[in-house]
Amino acid sequence: MFGIGIPELLIILVIVLIIFGANKLPEIGSGMGRAIKNFKKATSEPEEIDVTPKAEKKKDGDEKE
């Protein structure tokens, strides 16, 4: 698709290892995973956010019955 094959990916991996070091790679990976997870969660949530305090919601629910 973009002309990136195995040799190019290996070169990129070596450059990343040199820049960040082997100890930081798991931290970077987990941070990227959390970021992607939060992004997917944010895009699937409804547009409106209910900011009514819980006590007020419960009070309104009791009055209707």
What pLDDT does 63 receive?
Answer: 54
**Could you tell me the residue ranges of all domains in the chain?**
20-44
Q: Residues 1-33, buried b or exposed e (16+ Cβ, 10 A)? A: eeeeeeeeeeeeeeeeeeeeeeeeeeeeeeeee
Mean per-residue pLDDT pooled into runs of 10, the chain (65 residues): 81 88 87 92 75 68 54
Predicted confidence at residue 52, as pLDDT, reads: 78
Give the 3-state DSSP-derived string for the chain, with helices as H, strands as E and coil as C.
CCCCCHHHHHHHHHHHHHHHCCCCHHHHHHHHHHHHHHHHHHHHCCCCCCCCCHHHHHHHHHHHC
